[in-house]
């Protein structure tokens, strides 16, 4: 992406050609997949990490969620400020290099503190990706195709999580769950440490590919204030009803989703006796196929509803998904039969994936062009802090402190998911009219 010498706010500036726009989406999707592989693979290996580091479920939840989410959220907004005024390509490239190196560093950690700090570094690097990517995609497609494009990018979360479990499962099967390995320069490493090295370092190979895409012209309000953080905050406050209901509603869905993705592998291993490799491979296939299909379907549904005149289409998809998830999402962690549990995960993960392309597109609809990366960073701050930062710990808290039984992780998943989805549906429904008003204001 070559930074433009100007930001275009003329009448109907041309969008990039379809091949150029979709190539950018595909490459950004690949990077999003890599980012989720690097952040999510730790969930597959919770029990061996607990054993090696001498920690409990709550300590493990801090590594899977809080350590990553803290710096992911703290760095997201200042990085997004740069993305609204500087080269989005360069920002993403720097972030990719950082999170790849820090993922590999997780494999060299010899204490809880060292692994915690490395996970923080992964969060710093990944904070550069989505605000810049969402802003670039929004400037590359007209509104009637934007939700589909956002949906394609957003499938990276489920493709990446699925690939993390698939790749991690196969690597653990190859390396052996309990066999240490001698690695030149690094000494003796447990299999879970080698997995971090093997999934982290290849990300550096993708940095040069970012120079094959260009910066799209920025669109929207032309004033200098509009691109400032103060101007963005004024816009958010002016439409606080819409942004609060959107960010909090989708954060509650993320609270459930991140809690499930962090602890479902342990649930399969503890409650159904599956090995690390088998649980990773089974869950990886379901997540990659069903979750990805759900995101694509959600983006398509939002565009279809918009074409029928629903001005709240992107928010409404989140409301629909919150409710239709409940039957399968609550049942799969509590049924006794392993086959039935795996079968119920298919609709649970499909409906869990539905909101995310639409959720990102909704932020773009509510927000003038020069503010989009910053507004996206605020949205990511909220869903990451509540969802990723607290969701895994909520499940761990119920398991360790309420039920006081590692085998009760399934019941914890069911209760956390049910409460989060019911609250999310109520919050999203309350903000539909405010969302319509904010979208109309940002288009003027």
Per the CB < 8 A criterion, the answer to whether 351 and 324 are in contact is yes
* CA 244 from centroid of its chain's CA atoms: 19
Q: What is the pLDDT of residue 223?
A: 41
* DSSP run (H or E) holding 117: helix 112-126
The whole-angstrom separation of Cα 269 and Cα 41 is 15
Nearest to 421 by CA among 338, 334, 377, 355: 355
Residue ranges of the chain whose pLDDT lies below 70? 1-13, 220-227, 444
At 50-68, the pLDDT tens digits run: 999 999 999 999 999 999 9
In CATH terms, is domain 18-215+226-442 a member of 2.60.120.10? no
What residues pair up with 189 in beta bridges, in sequence order?
181
The whole-angstrom separation of Cα 229 and Cα 227 is 7
Question: Where do the domains of the chain lie?
Answer: 18-215+226-442
At 328-349, the pLDDT tens digits run: 999 999 999 999 999 999 999 9
Q: What is the pLDDT of residue 301?
A: 93
The DSSP call for residue 218 is: P
Q: What is the pLDDT of residue 9?
A: 43
The whole-angstrom separation of Cα 239 and Cα 441 is 9
The whole-angstrom separation of Cα 288 and Cα 341 is 17
At 17-33, the pLDDT tens digits run: 888 999 999 999 999 99
Phi-psi region of 56 (alpha: psi -120 to 50; beta: other; left: phi over 0): beta
At 189-205, the pLDDT tens digits run: 999 999 999 999 999 99
Indicate the pTM of the whole model: 0.83
Q: What is the pLDDT of residue 185?
A: 81
At 368-399, the pLDDT tens digits run: 877 877 888 789 889 989 998 999 999 999 99
Nearest to 265 by CA among 162, 120, 175, 183: 162
């Amino acid at each position: 992406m070559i930074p433009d010498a100007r930001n275009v706010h003329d009448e109907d500036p041309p969008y990039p050609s379809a091949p150029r726009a979709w190539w950018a989406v595909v490459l950004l999707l690949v990077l999003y997949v890599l980012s989720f592989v690097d952040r999510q693979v730790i969930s597959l290996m919770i029990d061996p990490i607990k054993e090696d580091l001498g920690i409990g479920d709550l300590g493990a939840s801090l590594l899977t969620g809080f350590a990553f989410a803290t710096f992911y959220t703290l760095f997201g907004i200042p990085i997004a400020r740069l993305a609204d005024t500087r080269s989005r390509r360069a920002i993403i490239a720097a972030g990719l290099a950082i999170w790849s190196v820090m993922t590999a560093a997780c494999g060299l950690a010899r204490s809880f503190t060292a692994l915690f700090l490395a996970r923080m570094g992964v969060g710093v690097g990944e904070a550069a990706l989505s605000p810049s990517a969402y802003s670039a995609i929004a400037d590359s497609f007209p509104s009637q195709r934007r939700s589909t494009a956002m949906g394609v990018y957003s499938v990276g979360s489920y493709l990446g999580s699925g690939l993390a479990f698939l790749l991690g499962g196969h690597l653990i099967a190859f390396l052996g769950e309990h066999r240490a390995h001698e690695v030149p320069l690094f000494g003796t490493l447990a299999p879970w440490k080698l997995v971090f090295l093997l999934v982290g370092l290849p990300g550096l190979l993708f940095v040069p590919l970012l120079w094959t895409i260009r910066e799209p012209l920025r669109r929207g309000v032309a004033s200098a204030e509009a691109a400032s953080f103060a101007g963005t905050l004024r816009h958010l406050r002016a439409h606080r009803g819409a942004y609060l209901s959107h960010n909090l509603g989708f954060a509650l869905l993320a609270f459930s989703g991140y809690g499930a993705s962090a602890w479902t592998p342990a649930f399969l291993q503890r409650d159904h006796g599956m090995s690390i490799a088998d649980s990773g491979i089974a869950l990886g296939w379901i997540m990659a196929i069903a979750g990805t299909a759900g995101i694509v379907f959600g983006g398509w549904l939002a565009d279809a509803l918009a074409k029928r005149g629903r001005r709240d289409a992107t928010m409404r998809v989140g409301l629909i998904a919150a409710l239709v998830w409940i039957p399968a999402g609550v049942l799969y962690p509590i049924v006794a039969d392993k086959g039935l549990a795996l079968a119920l995960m298919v609709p649970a993960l499909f409906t869990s994936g539905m909101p995310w392309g639409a959720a990102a597109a909704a932020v773009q609809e509510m927000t003038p062009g020069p503010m989009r990366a910053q507004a996206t960073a605020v949205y990511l701050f909220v869903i990451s802090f509540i969802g990723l930062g607290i969701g895994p710990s909520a499940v761990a808290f119920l398991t360790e402190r309420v039920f006081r039984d590692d085998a009760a992780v399934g019941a914890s998943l069911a209760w956390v998911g049910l409460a989060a989805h019911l609250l999310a549906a109520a919050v999203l429904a309350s903000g539909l009219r405010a969302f319509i008003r904010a979208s109309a204001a940002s288009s003027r």
